Structure 1
């Protein structure tokens, strides 16, 4: 599995639960993301009120909101609904930190699978997910509102050890 470089405490993103006062920054990040749908204040507030929904933000050491993630934890699965990083903070480890936080949450809660969809054109995100142990398991044709396909990805855990179980891709991504 992936070997992470050592980070100084000042480099480690601060991960915290999303608060109502974060909504404007999250909406700005979402508007600048690869998404073709747009999240609204009402959508985020509804997600924050759902007991199975978890919304976390990653902040810079200076406190600026750099990225966010929205996921559902239902039974023994976690489904990542949205993860996005402010364009000025991409490739600085914020999405990776949120995904590591999600994986730690999944292990703590004895989750069997973490599932997500990613745009076929978002090679950077797919590369990140692969370094974390995700495999491609299917294609959702026309999944996004603009007609782009979504690639289904999955991370599996051993039920006894809670370690990630590497799986081969079930599809070829061209």
Structure 2
């Protein structure tokens, strides 16, 4: 995170991990292999941290749905406050490494989108979301709202958007856009 992918070598990684080169090569064939493993691991950890203890349990009302997304936005702000290098890497630096990294990040991010699609489908079936919603488009919108909140968190209010304002406006938008007509 501090020196960038191109600025480090296998020696640096092995030293930082406190292992020998031999041990490193027991698990990874090159620097690229560890990058892929780190990306996958970090996305798994981010998912657990950002989505929180609710996990895959679908909300049972529009209020619960909106409250959940409010908590996710708060967790995104907390993530930026505690792990700014990690967030900056995934949002801004990873795509500059090469297309494979970008594709791997996008593949991992789609998991969030798929979970959102499932939540939308559940909300439609439960009757608290608009029956005419396309779950895939609505899921992409939810993901976009979260990415937008993450970018606002990275700007740390420099654009006049406080955490409370971002959360409240995002929830208001979702409530208006997704509720039955």
TM-score between the two structures when normalised by the length of structure 2: 0.30
Which structure's CA Rg is the greater one?
Answer: 2
Higher fraction of helix: 2
Q: Which has the higher contact order (CA 8 A, sep 6+)?
A: 2
